[in-house]
Structure 1
Amino acid sequence: MKNNLLNDMILSIEKQNLHVLNVVVRQNGEVIAKHDFEEEKPILLWSISKTFTSMAVGIAISEGYFKITDHVIDFFPNIPAAYLSENLKKVTIHDLLCMGSGHAECPIFKADREGNGIYDISQLFFEEPFLYEPGTHFTYDNTATYMLSKIIGITTGTNLDEYLEKRIFQPLDIQKPKWDTCPKGTPLGFSGLRLTANQLSKFGQLLLNKGLWDGKQLIPSSYIEQAASVQIKTYDFNEFFATEDHHQGYGYQMWMNSYPNSYRMDGLYGQYVVMLPDKNAVVTFVSNEPEKMTAILELTWKTIVDKL
């Protein structure tokens, strides 16, 4: 172990008073450095859950359950006619994966803001106007990821969490994790998954390996290559917290980074898994930082990457 690799990071975390819980650094397939500010335990990963949903989609495509070009409406024959706009009819699995379904804002954020609550997420998805041509405009849209979870359930006959249990979690020696569901039992997909930092870093290693684990191809490498490359531009993503790391493009439920040829899983309150192919490394942060989330990601560039 090279825990002194993290000395500058630890000092920076203390200086900025960042609430980081656990950090794991892997290189060449091994854990080379680790630091626990608090005892490691399963934590809600927020939007990092999205990447797991994406990989389930990649596996389901390879198993023949559906195609990336399939239209979303074909999985939902009972959509009220009032919702069937021309843009909605064009939305594909690809558009859901890259947050390009055509909504101008996330229907869940809108429902929360207006005090309507989250009742039926698929209904929220369909009733929100599709203002943009699908595939042309990035909107960070939790309902798009939920629809992928729903489609996994419809096509495979098993919920997202069960589907991933045999295909990802068991091979990685991860005991079946908790995943929050909507009232009807469908895993949220966009959030709700709970893992430890070490478990999460294994999944990051799996992505860096392009889906290969212990000699078995768990996820198609071609799908991970697509997921980890720009599928839609994000230069106009203008949330208050946005930095250069939010303007490099979005793949399939993963962000591209400002650091060249790298990409990440990204969750609220400072959950990050950064894949660095040029360094053959994965950096994982598990945190509970409500105010300075992006400062945690930037620790990678400022205190770690040049030492790898």
Structure 2
Amino acid sequence: MNNELLNDLVLSVKSQNLHVLNVIVRQDGNIIAKHDFEEEKPTLLYSVSKTFTSMAVGIAINEGYFKISDLVIDFFPDIQHVPINEYLNEMTIHDLLCMGTGHAECPVMKADWNNGKEWDISQLFFQEPVIFKPGTHFTYNNASTYMLSKIISSTTGSNLNEYLDEKIFRHLDIPKPKWDTCPIGIPQGFSGLYLTAEQLSRFGQLILDKGMWKGKQLIPSSYIEQATSVQIKTNDFTPYFATADHHQGYGYQIWMNSYSNSYRMDGLYGQYVVMLPEKNAVITYISDEPQNMTGVLELTWDTLIEKL
């Protein structure tokens, strides 16, 4: 271990008053540095959960449950009272993965989480107008990831958490984790997964290594190559917190970084797994930073990248 590697990062966290909880640096497959600002524990990963959903989809495609070109509408024959237009009929699994569904707004924004009755995000998804041709316009869309979770459930016979436990978690020696569900019991997919920083860093290593773990191919390498390359442009994604790291394009539930040939998992309040193939490195952050999430990500570029 070379925890001195993190000296500048620790100083920067304190000087910026960033609420980072845990940082882990892996290189060449091993943990080379680690710093715990607070004791490590299973933590809600927010949108980092999306990348796990994506990898479940890649495995399911490889196992023949469905194809990336399959039409979304075909998985939901019971959806009623939905205005079916040409664009909705064109939407595919690929469009769900890259958030190119054609929606202008995320349908989950209209969800009533205080409603005590059972309800389903898929109904909101289909009620939301599809105004862009699928695959042409990026809208950050939690509902698209939920739809992937539901498709996993309907095609594989296992829900997302059970499927990932069998296909990934147990191989990484991660006990079956908690995953928050929606009111009808489907794992959220877009959020809801709880892991420790060290467990999460193992998953980041798996992605960096193109799905290979201890000599076993857990995720098809060809799928990871697609997932970690630009599938849709994100130039029009302009929330108040957007930086250059939000405008490099989006893969399959994975963001591209401004640093060349690198990509990341990205979650609310500063949950990040930054994968740097040129450095053969993975940097994992667990945080609870409500004000300056991107400041956590930028610790990588400002304090670490030149030392790796």
Judge same fold: TM > 0.5, yes or no.
Answer: yes
Q: Deviations over 1:168-208 (max 9, x none)?
A: 00000000000000111100000000000000000000000
Which residue is 2:240 aligned to?
A: 240
**Secondary structure of 1:83's aligned partner:** coil
- Structure 2 counterpart of 1:13: 13
Q: TM-score, normalised by structure 2?
A: 0.97
In the other structure, the counterpart of 2:76 is 76
Cα displacement (A) at 1:111: 4.0
For residues 101-156 of structure 1, give each alpha carbon's deviation from its aligned partner in whole angstroms, at most 9, with x where no partner exists: 0100101124469x989942000100000010000000000000000000000000
Deviation digits for residues 66-89 of structure 1 (CA, Å, limit 9, x no counterpart):
000000011111222542111111
Please name the residue that 2:28 is paired with.
Answer: 28
Aligned to 1:133: 133
- Pair 1:153–1:220, CA change in 2 (3 A): same
Following the alignment from structure 1 to structure 2, what is the Cα–Cα distance between the partners of residues 82 and 306? 53
Partner AA of 2:253 in structure 1: Q
Distance 1:119 1:239, change over 3 A: farther
1:136-155 to structure 2, matched below 5 A, reads: 136-155=136-155
**Cα drift, residue 43 of structure 1:** 0.2
SS of the residue corresponding to residue 135 of structure 1 reads coil
Distance in 1 between residues matched to 2:19 and 2:79, nearest whole Å:
44
Gaps of 5+ in 1: none
Once residues 10 and 112 of structure 1 are traced to their aligned partners in structure 2, the CA distance between those partners, rounded to angstroms, is 40
Tell me which amino acid in the other structure corresponds to 1:143.
Answer: A
| Whole-angstrom distance in 2 between the partners of 1:192 and 1:110 | 18
**What letter corresponds to residue 5 of structure 1 in structure 2?**
L
Q: Partner residue of 2:298?
A: 298
Instruction: Tell me which residue corresponds to 1:49.
Output: 49
Residue identity over aligned pairs, in percent, reads: 73
Residue in structure 1 matched with residue 257 of structure 2 by the alignment: 257
Map of 2:220 onto structure 1: 220
Query: Which consecutive residues of structure 2, in runs of 5 or more, have no partner in the other structure?
Result: none
The reply to whether residue 197 of structure 1 matches residue 197 of structure 2 is yes
Structure 2 counterpart of 1:231, one-letter code = Q
1:281 lines up with 2:287 in the alignment? no
State the aligned residue count.
307
C-alpha distance in 2, partners of 1:305/1:211? 24
Segments of 4+ in structure 1 off by > 4 A? 115-118
